[in-house]
């Protein structure tokens, strides 16, 4: 098993979680000042607001990765997002316990060593997260090649759309086209599998929330918080 569509809880998920997060992301879309590289990029043509802990790209030590900090912090503090974070972490622990434990332990040790670093969720298995804004977020064929290759990233589809008429997730290397309903979450090794989404219909809106960990961050931690050269 290398990918799992974990779906969604059976409670009032739409009203209590999905709609609240979408409302916050619509507000953030209006307030977000998008750098050119964050609005049109190899993953698609939509604004991306990122936060969390990363490494590499010229950074000598781990650092937060945020743009428009006030907008992102407002999103992260949303109680509905906290519920989503708890659900996705619990689902990851159930679907892939070894991967979850390795990720959780590494990030816990990192926070103990560097208390000033702030992952998106205080007790979660992913170091970074991204809010795909704009209301028409669907990705082009790509791999997230800087992610830790053996870990799974977490993708949650948001808003309201007909998942049978668009927004399916395509895993090109596996020849799979997967129905991906709003409010659902899927785990995939995004560094290894080429993936994309089909477009939604012109009158529909679609956002997504993605969680992942950079490979360089885990390598840095494994080497005792030193670079490979050191």
- Are 198 and 138 spatial neighbours (Cβ–Cβ below 8 Å)? yes
Residue 104 neighbours by CB distance under 10 Å: 17
Domain assignment present for 228: no
Q: What is the pLDDT of residue 218?
A: 93
Q: With CA atoms as reference, report the closest residue to 27 among 65, 80, 103.
A: 80
Name every residue whose Cβ is closer than 8 Å to that of residue 105 and which is 6 or more positions away in sequence. none
Domain assignment present for 94: yes
pLDDT per residue over 158-193, tens digit each?
A: 877 677 776 789 999 999 999 988 899 999 999 999
Q: What is the pLDDT of residue 31?
A: 78
Q: What is the pLDDT of residue 115?
A: 86
Looking up residue 157, the CATH number of its domain turns out to be 3.60.130.30
Domain assignment present for 78: yes
Q: With CA atoms as reference, report the closest residue to 147 among 214, 51, 216, 53.
A: 214
Q: With CA atoms as reference, report the closest residue to 217 among 57, 85, 38, 2.
A: 57
Domain assignment present for 230: no
**Spans of the chain, pLDDT less than 70:** 35-46, 56-67, 134-138, 161, 166, 203
Q: What is the pLDDT of residue 227?
A: 84
- Domain encompassing residue 169: 4-57+64-223
Counted domains in the chain: 1
Distance (Å, rounded) from C-alpha 77 to C-alpha 149? 29
Domain assignment present for 215: yes
Q: What is the pLDDT of residue 65?
A: 46
Domain assignment present for 41: yes
Q: What is the pLDDT of residue 41?
A: 56
Q: What is the pLDDT of residue 26?
A: 87
Question: How many percent of the chain have pLDDT more than 90?
Answer: 46
Domain assignment present for 229: no
Q: What is the pLDDT of residue 97?
A: 97
């Amino acid at each position: 098993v290398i990918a799992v569509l974990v779906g969604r809880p059976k409670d009032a998920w739409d009203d209590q979680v999905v709609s609240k997060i979408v409302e916050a992301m619509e507000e953030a879309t209006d307030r977000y000042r998008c750098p050119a590289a964050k609005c049109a990029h190899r993953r698609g043509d939509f604004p991306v607001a990122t936060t969390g802990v990363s490494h590499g790209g010229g950074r000598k030590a781990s650092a937060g990765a945020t743009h428009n900090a006030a907008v992102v912090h407002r999103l992260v503090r949303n109680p509905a997002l906290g519920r989503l974070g708890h659900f996705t972490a619990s689902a990851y622990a159930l679907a892939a316990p070894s991967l979850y434990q390795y990720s959780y332990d590494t990030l816990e040790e990192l926070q103990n060593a560097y208390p000033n670093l702030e992952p998106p969720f205080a007790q979660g298995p992913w170091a970074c997260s991204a809010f795909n804004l704009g209301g028409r977020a669907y990705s082009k064929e790509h791999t997230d090649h800087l992610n830790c290759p053996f870990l799974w990233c977490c993708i949650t589809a948001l808003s309201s759309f007909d998942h049978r008429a668009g927004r399916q997730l395509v895993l090109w290397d596996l020849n799979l086209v997967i129905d991906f309903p709003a409010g659902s979450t899927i785990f995939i090794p995004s560094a290894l599998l080429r993936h994309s989404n089909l477009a939604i219909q012109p009158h529909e809106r679609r956002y997504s929330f993605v969680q992942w960990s950079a490979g360089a961050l885990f390598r840095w931690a494994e080497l005792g918080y030193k670079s490979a050269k050191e």
